[in-house]
Amino acid sequence: MRRIVVAFVVAVLAFALVGCGGGEEAATDAAPETDAAAAPAPAPEPVEPAYVTDRSLNVDETTPTPFPSFTTTVTPYAFQEKLDARRPMLILFYDKGQIVTKDLRAEVDAVIEQYRGLIDLVTFDVSGGGDPKVAEAATMYAAELGVQSTPHVLIVDRGSFITWQWKGYVERGVLEREVERVTR
């Protein structure tokens, strides 16, 4: 009886070996079947954040570019005064209707407070706060500076060069680093 059991076990193992990849041809055919049977459950869908910002154009190290001459309007006094005085400035374009505005404004205000007297803050609300003329002017200034979405931060140094810009929310540490760079 032992011989029959041993022969049966050997036969089962031989068939299992051939069926599971004992031959070269069988190995390619058997792999998809086992992968399909043991496929993991699909990952749960990611939860959407409270706000989504397109940061596709953000580059941490940008080449300084000269502050542009305004072509569609006169350079706003808020800019021209600081450019003439050779004062660094942080320019913030935002929309009060966006959720991210309050968070970003808190970060910007903290950095400006820390570097008070060394850098000036210039802000433009592109929503205009309900005034269409203010919204139109802010949007025109944004377009002249190449700003396509809000919030958008630009930093201008003493030599009237835009040394850094960022689209969307930016953390305080990054802002501090860039402000420190232009105020030295």
pLDDT classification of 62: cutoffs 50, 70, 90: low
For residue 49, tell me if it sits in a domain.
Answer: no
Closest CA to 178 of 90, 114, 65: 90
Instruction: State the pLDDT at residue 63.
Output: 80
For residue 156, tell me if it sits in a domain.
Answer: yes
Q: 179 and 113 in one domain?
A: yes
Q: 98 and 19 in one domain?
A: no
Domain enclosing residue 11, as ranges = 2-35
**In the beta sheet, which residues pair with residue 93?**
124, 152
pLDDT tens across 67-88, in order? 888 888 888 898 999 999 999 9
Tokens of 45: 């869908």
Cα 36 to chain centroid distance, Å, stands at 37
Please determine, for residue 178, whether its predicted confidence score (pLDDT) is greater than 90: yes
pLDDT tens across 133-169, in order? 999 999 999 999 999 999 999 999 999 999 999 999 9
For residue 148, tell me if it sits in a domain.
Answer: yes
**Residues 118, 181 contacting (CB under 8 angstroms):** no
Q: 178 and 93 in one domain?
A: yes
* Number of domains present in the structure of the chain: 2
pTM for this structure?
Answer: 0.66
For residue 55, tell me if it sits in a domain.
Answer: no
Residue entry with tokens 């031989």: 14
More confident residue, 54 or 101: 101
For residue 58, tell me if it sits in a domain.
Answer: no
10/21 Cα distance (integer angstroms): 17
Percentage of the residues of the chain whose pLDDT score is greater than 70: 67
Q: What is the CATH number of the domain that holds 69?
A: 3.40.30.10
> DSSP states of 90-126 as a string?
EEEEE-TTSTHHHHHHHHHHHHHHHTTTTSEEEEEET
For residue 45, tell me if it sits in a domain.
Answer: no
More confident residue, 93 or 36: 93
Tokens of 44: 């749960």
